[in-house]
Amino acid sequence: MPSTELLIAFFVTTVIFAYIPGPAMLYAAAQTLARGRLSGLMATFGIHVGGYVHVIAAAAGLSMLFHAVPTLYVAVKIIGAIYLIWLGISLFRARAGGEPVAGATTAKSARRAFLESVAVEVLNPKTALFFLAFLPQFVDASAAFPVWLQLLLLGTIVNLIFSSADVVCVFMAGAIINRLRSSNGARRMMQRAGGTILVGLGLHLAFQKS
């Protein structure tokens, strides 16, 4: 593995990056506001699972395809942006319902949040490029572990730390929901707020310069 000094720098830098509010935090908060804490946690888990696709891609060198084929990067970015906007519009159109439901309906919503979040993360080329640019800075080519294994281990740690920040964001958004639980109007407002955040994230991804 890399030297102790390099690992310390890696951990400090990763924590700083993870806890700076970013798209993943906003996405997890949007799912929580719109569907409740369980769905927010499942969305975070979905982002985490999707993140391993990029970790493995970085370890295998597949992320370099985005550099070699710019058209592929743009295509994936646009698909991901359209998907986020569609999710946001779906929340606007969904009915708020009665109580924040427990049981089968809640479980169904949580499963949907998980599956949607895996797709959102996999379709985010910025994550692929982040891992490709960030992880090699902390790899020691002279270490006993091969480079691909170092990338895999470091990527897994990054994914876990980033997910911890998303979980914190979910619980903060959940605290807001708990205060507004008794109001149908407030729940509808939270649902629309979540939809607005998702549409905004989609537009940001679509028009953000590479």
pLDDT for the residue numbered 110: 87
pLDDT for the residue numbered 184: 59
DSSP 162-183: HHHHHHHHHHHHHHHHHHHTT-
pLDDT tens-digit series, residues 138-193: 888 777 788 888 889 999 999 999 999 999 999 988 887 776 655 556 667 767 77
| Angle between the N-to-C axes of helices 147-180 and 125-134, in degrees from 0 to 180, rounded to the nearest 10 | 130
The C-alpha atoms of residue 77 and residue 196 are separated, in whole angstroms, by 19
Task: State the distance between the two ends of the chain, measured CA to CA, in whole angstroms.
Answer: 32
pLDDT tens-digit series, residues 55-65: 998 888 776 77
pLDDT tens-digit series, residues 56-92: 988 887 767 766 777 877 887 888 888 888 888 887 7
- Measured CA distances, 168 to 33, 41, 111, 128 (Å): 14, 10, 20, 23
Whole-structure pTM value: 0.78
DSSP 85-133: HHHHHHHHHS---SS---THHHHHHHHHHHHHHHHHHHT-HHHHHHHHH
**What is the rounded average pLDDT for all residues in the chain?**
82
